[in-house]
Structure formats: C-alpha cells, structure tokens
C-alpha cells in the first residue's frame, strides 16, 4: 500500500467519525423535543425551530460528508488505477531494461570478437614490419661488407702501384749512381788542375811577399805580430760591447722565458687532470655502431666534429667512444647529440644537424633549471628573467677548476652567515654575493673585466646600487665604499681560498684555448672556430662567399702568426681552415 492510499484511508475514517458524532447529536436533540410537555410555549417553539434548523444543518453537513466520502472513494479508486498503471509501466521498463542489457551483451561480444581480430591483424603487421626491418639490416650489413671488400681491393691496388713506383725509383737511383761516378771522375781531373794552379799561385804569393818585405823594411813575422796586436785590441772592445748587449737582452727576456718554462711544466703536470676534465665517455650498444658513426669515408665523423666542435675519439676501447672538448657546454651538447643519434640509429650529416639543435635546446633547459634551483637554495625569489638565463650559463663554467654557479651559492651562504653575525641586512648581502660573478657569463661576448661587466648587467636589469657597487668592487676595480662590498669580497675570498677549491693549471689551460678561439674568430669571414686535440689544432670554418681559396691560405698564416706572437704553449699548433660550399634544393 502506497503513502497516498494511507492518506485517503485516514481521511475516510476521520469523516466517518464526524458523521457519527453529528448523528448522535441529532438523536439527542430529537429526544429532547419529544420530552417537552408544553409545545405551545413560545420559548419552546423558538427552541424547537432552532433545533430543527440545527438538525437541517446537520443533515446538510451529513450530505456534504457523504459526498466528500464519495469523492474520496473515487479519488482512492483513481489512485489505485494510477498505481496499477505505474506497476504496469515499471514492469514494461524492466522488460525494456532486460532487452537493452541483452542487446548490450550481444554488442559487447561482437566488439570483443572484432578487437581480437584487430589485435591479431596488428600483431601480424608488427611481425611483418620486424621481418622487413631485419631484412633491411641484413642488406645494410651486406653493403658494408661489400664496401669493406672494395676498400681492401683498393688498398691492394695502391700497394701494387707503390711497389711499381719503388722499382722505378731503384732504377732511377742506379742511373744516378752511374752519373755520380762519371761526375767524380770529372771532379778528380778538375782537382788535379786546381792543384797545379794552387802551386803556381803559391809561387806568385812568395814573390809578392818578398817584394813587400823589401819595400816595407819589415819581415813577415814582425808585420804579423803588429797586425795581431791591433786585431786583439779591437776584438776585446767588440767583445765587451757584445757582453753588455747580451746581459741587457737577458734581463729583458728573463721574465718571459721563466714564464714560458713554468707554463710548460704546468701543462705537463696537469695533463692527466685536464684529460679527466675535458673528456666524456659514451657507451655504445655494440662495436658495429662505431662503423656507422664514422660513416662512408669518414663523412659522419667529419660532419659531427664540424657541427658540434667536439673532437670524437674512436679507438680500440670496446663498446665506447670518447668526446673531447675544453668547453663543457659544447661537450655536453655533443654527448647528448651522439647519444640521441645512437638511440635513433639514423646517422648522416643532415640528421646530425637536426639532433644537435635539439640537444642544444635541452642543455639550455638544463641550465635554466640549474639557475632556478640555485636561486631557491639561496632564497632569492624576485630577479629579472635575463639574469636567470645568465646564471644558467654558469652551470658549466669553471674558475680555476671551481664550478662558478656552486661558487656563487657557497659565497652567498658565507656572506649570509657573516651578515647575520654582524646584524646587517642578510637578504641584500646574500643577493650581492650571489650575483658578484654574473659577468663571467659574458666574458666571451663583451670586452673588459668580469666585475665591471657584471655591474653593468646588474644595473641594466634593475638591481639596486648597493648590489651593483658590491659587484664592481669585489676585485678592487672600484674601491669598496659600503659594508656590502666588503663582505662580498671576504666571502668570495673564503669560498675560493679554501683548500682544494681551485686548480690553477686547468684554468690556464682553458683560458689559453678560449684565447685561441677568440684570435681566429676575430678574423673577417670566419663563421665558426673550434679548438681541437687539447689545443694542438684549430679548425676555422669560413664563409665561402666571403673568403676564397687564396684568402683561406692567407687567413691560416695570419692566425698561426698571431698565435705565435700572443700565446705561450708547449709543442706546436696546427691551423686548419675549412671552406665548404653547400647547395640544398627541395624536390616537390
């Protein structure tokens, strides 16, 4: 039974009780009328009329109640009919739901069957693709094998040609020996004639000496002694002058020679440390990958070194190659480039350029993240975005072997501790100490001291004058005038002067390589410059439209001459100028 049915039933019961109460009241009124003895009394008559009116009203109320009961009964019947309809609709809905569920199950079975068939088709396609890839790899290996066989054949041909040339050279030497024998005979004859002429000349000389002795009145020995005495005095004066010039020259060149000797010693002693600092190792999946990295006739390795500026060393080390470059940013970009190429498997000059650009962008992102981490560690929140970019460049920059970005963080912490002990403005002093070497990120692009460069950059991007003054005064280019500048100097000295923080030899080595690149890059028509082989070779890429072949030769000679005049280095440095013309056309 629903709630509506309960409400109707309660209403019917209430109305029934009201009707019964009205009936009982009417019965009591009738009994009272019947027991009245004096119907002629006016009060009685009035009371009787009133009671009759009340009885009529009760009958009217009873009729209304009956009609209301009838309406309620009809409403209850309608409600029952609606409930029956609702039950029928619910039953129909259940039947429809069962039908939809059955259809859904059938559709799901169909979809599952279709998915199984699609999965089998995809698996078959994958197997076919793998088979084709294996066939391509086999074809590539076969082509490589044929190329190697052709190379062996060419080497054998060259060996035969060398043997033929050697035989011809032997024949030429035999002929020349015969010619030399004839020439020796001719020389012997000429020597005999010359001996005869020398004897005649000696006789003539003796006659001339006797005539001179007779004319001068001196013997040959006395004239010789007088001449020797005069020559000896002149020689002593010239020797004294020569000794004085030698001593003066020795004083002027002593400092330069001593510096040259010290630099030679530093380079020899620091070679192992330098190798550890400028070499990265990349592990390969197999030794066959080395051949793909080298490419046909070495074109891939030449393109890689030309694009990245990193020297690629491939030796007998199993499943590994070495990347050597004094610039750590360039070396990291080269390492990421080669790693992506090895993973991708497609190694050719155009692909090397594409992957190098992607690797360079990835290294830039790593630098930016390192700068943000350093700012968070120091506690600096508000700073210009360009300063963040410059700080990121310092991630791979070193000063005397000490990482510059870590040096800035360490200097800021030291300055903050000292400022807290002195009850000074800790955030301002930490900011000054953290930004004091920001100019080192631009020393390759702007001339001047890194302190002055850093001060100009900080002033340009809105840093306060206290911070700018601390930056420009931390190496005494400008006399320090504030306590922030003094504490920045002290914290910088503490960070750089602790034992093991810096290595002078590596810094001198890196500065020499940077100066070598700067000398070549300053020439007209130069596109890119790379210092290779630990500074023993300079590769200069020139613009073919600006520099011709004769200009390339002149440029190589000028660079070599300027390096000899300005730098001190052990051994020798080879200068290689590369002029390459490249034409690209797109087939549509």
pLDDT of residue 268: 32
pLDDT of residue 229: 74
Average pLDDT, the chain: 80
How distant, in Å, are the alpha carbons of 325, 339, 398, 479 from that of 275? 10, 21, 15, 40
Band (pLDDT 50/70/90 cuts) for residue 467 is very high
3-state secondary structure at position 532 = strand
Burial (0-12, 13-18, 19+ Cβ within 10 Å), 78: exposed
Question: What distance in Å separates the CA atoms of residue 82 and residue 230, rounded to the nearest whole number?
Answer: 156
Would the pLDDT of 445 be above 70? no
pTM of the model: 0.40
Question: What distance in Å separates the CA atoms of residue 517 and residue 536, rounded to the nearest whole number?
Answer: 12
pLDDT of residue 217: 65
Mean pLDDT, range 557-564, rounded to an integer? 89
Would the pLDDT of 370 be above 60? yes
Which secondary structure element, helix H or strand E, spans residue 123, and what is its range?
A: helix 42-216
pLDDT tens, position by position, 306-351: 888 888 888 877 888 888 887 777 888 888 898 888 888 888 888 8
Q: Which of 204-218, 346-360, 497-511 has the lowest mean pLDDT?
A: 497-511
Question: What distance in Å separates the CA atoms of residue 221 and residue 219, rounded to the nearest whole number?
Answer: 6
Nearest partner of 277 among 401, 381, 164, 393, judged by Cα: 401
Backbone dihedral angles phi then psi of residue 218, each to the nearest 5 degrees: -120, 150
Mean pLDDT, range 39-61, rounded to an integer? 72
Higher pLDDT, 286 or 209: 286
Question: What distance in Å separates the CA atoms of residue 81 and residue 97, rounded to the nearest whole number?
Answer: 24
CATH topology of domain 271-356: Ribosomal Protein S8; Chain: A, domain 1 (3.30.1370)
pLDDT tens, position by position, 89-128: 878 888 888 888 888 888 888 888 888 888 888 888 888 8
Nearest partner of 508 among 465, 562, 567, judged by Cα: 567
Q: What residue segments make up the domains of the chain, in order of their start? A: 3-124, 271-356, 379-502, 504-588
Would the pLDDT of 261 be above 50? no
Backbone dihedral angles phi then psi of residue 285, each to the nearest 5 degrees: -70, -20
pLDDT of residue 469: 92
Per-residue tokens: 46: 């009035």
Q: For the chain, what percent of residues have pLDDT higher than 90?
A: 3
Would the pLDDT of 168 be above 80? yes
CA–chain centroid gap for 503, Å, is 25
pLDDT of residue 504: 45
3-state secondary structure at position 326 = coil
DSSP 420-489: HHTT--HHHHHHHHHTTTGGGGGTTTS-S-HHHHHHHHHHHTT--HHHHHHHHTTTSSS---SHHHHHHH
Looking at domain 379-502, its CATH superfamily turns out to be Hypothetical protein af1432 (1.10.3210.10)
pLDDT tens, position by position, 34-47: 655 444 567 767 77
pLDDT of residue 380: 87
3-state secondary structure at position 281 = strand
Q: Which of 235-249, 265-279, 510-524, 546-560 has the lowest mean pLDDT?
A: 265-279
Question: Does the domain formed by 504-588 have CATH 3.30.70.1350?
Answer: yes
Question: What distance in Å separates the CA atoms of residue 398 and residue 185, rounded to the nearest whole number?
Answer: 72
3-state secondary structure at position 585 = coil
Which secondary structure element, helix H or strand E, spans residue 575, and what is its range?
A: strand 574-579
Q: Which of 185-189, 412-416, 508-512 has the lowest mean pLDDT?
A: 508-512
3-state secondary structure at position 12 = helix
pLDDT of residue 104: 83
Band (pLDDT 50/70/90 cuts) for residue 277 is low
């Amino acid at each position: 039974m629903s709630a509506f049915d309960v409400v109707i039933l309660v209403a019917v019961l209430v109305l029934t009780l009201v009707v019964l109460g009205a009936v009982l009241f009417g019965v009591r009124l009738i009994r009272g009328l019947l027991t009245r003895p004096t119907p002629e009394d006016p009060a009685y008559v009035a009371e009787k009329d009133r009671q009759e009116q009340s009885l009529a009203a009760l009958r009217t109320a009873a009729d209304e109640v009956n009609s209301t009961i009838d309406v309620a009964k009809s409403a209850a019947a309608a409600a029952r009919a609606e409930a029956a309809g609702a039950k029928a609709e619910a039953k129909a809905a259940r039947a429809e739901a069962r039908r939809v569920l059955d259809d859904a199950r059938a559709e799901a079975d169909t979809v599952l069957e279709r998915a199984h068939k699609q999965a089998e088709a995809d698996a078959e396609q994958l197997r076919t693709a793998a088979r084709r890839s294996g066939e391509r790899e086999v074809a590539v290996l076969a082509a490589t094998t044929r190329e190697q066989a052709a190379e062996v054949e060419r080497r054998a041909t060259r060996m035969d040609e060398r043997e033929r040339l050697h035989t011809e050279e032997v024949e030429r030497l035999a002929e020349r020996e015969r010619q030399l024998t004839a020439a020796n005979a001719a020389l012997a004859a000429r020597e005999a004639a010359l001996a005869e002429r020398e004897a005649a000349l000696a006789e003539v000389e003796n006659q001339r000496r006797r005539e001179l002795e007779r004319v001068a009145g001196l013997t040959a020995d006395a004239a010789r002694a007088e001449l020797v005495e005069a020559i000896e005095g002149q020689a002593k004066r010239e020797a004294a002058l020569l000794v004085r010039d030698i001593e003066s020259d020795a004083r002027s060149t002593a400092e330069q020679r001593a510096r040259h000797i010290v630099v030679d010693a530093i380079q020899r002693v620091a070679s192992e440390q330098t190798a550890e600092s400028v070499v990265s190792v990349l592990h390969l999946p197999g030794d066959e990958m080395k051949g793909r990295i080298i490419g046909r006739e070495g074109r891939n390795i030449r393109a890689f070194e030309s694009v990245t500026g990193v020297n690629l060393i491939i030796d007998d080390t199993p499943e590994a190659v070495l990347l050597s470059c004094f610039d750590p940013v360039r070396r990291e970009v080269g390492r990421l480039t080669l790693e992506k190429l090895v993973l991708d498997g497609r190694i050719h000059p155009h692909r090397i350029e594409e992957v190098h650009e992607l690797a360079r962008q990835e290294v830039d992102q790593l630098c930016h993240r390192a700068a943000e981490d350093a700012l968070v560690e120091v506690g600096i929140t508000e700073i210009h975005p360009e300063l963040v970019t410059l700080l990121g460049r310092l991630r791979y920059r070193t000063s005397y072997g000490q990482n510059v970005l870590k040096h800035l963080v360490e200097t800021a912490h030291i300055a903050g501790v000292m400022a807290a002990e002195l009850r000074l403005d800790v955030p301002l002093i930490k900011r000054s100490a953290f930004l004091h070497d920001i100019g080192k990120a631009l020393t390759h692009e702007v001339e001047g001291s890194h302190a002055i460069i850093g001060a100009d950059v900080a002033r340009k991007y809105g840093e306060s004058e206290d911070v700018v003054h601390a930056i420009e005064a931390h190496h005494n280019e400008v006399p320090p005038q504030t306590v922030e500048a003094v504490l920045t100097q002290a914290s910088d000295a503490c960070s750089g002067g602790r034992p093991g923080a810096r290595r002078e030899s590596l810094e001198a080595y890196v500065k020499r390589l940077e100066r070598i690149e700067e000398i070549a890059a300053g020439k007209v028509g130069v596109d890119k410059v790379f210092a290779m082989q630990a500074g023993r070779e300079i590769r200069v890429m020139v613009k073919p439209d600006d520099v011709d072949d004769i200009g390339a030769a002149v440029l190589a000679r000028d660079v070599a001459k300027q390096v000899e005049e300005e730098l001190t280095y052990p051994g020798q440095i080879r200068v290689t100028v590369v002029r390459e013309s490249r034409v690209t056309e797109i087939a549509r």
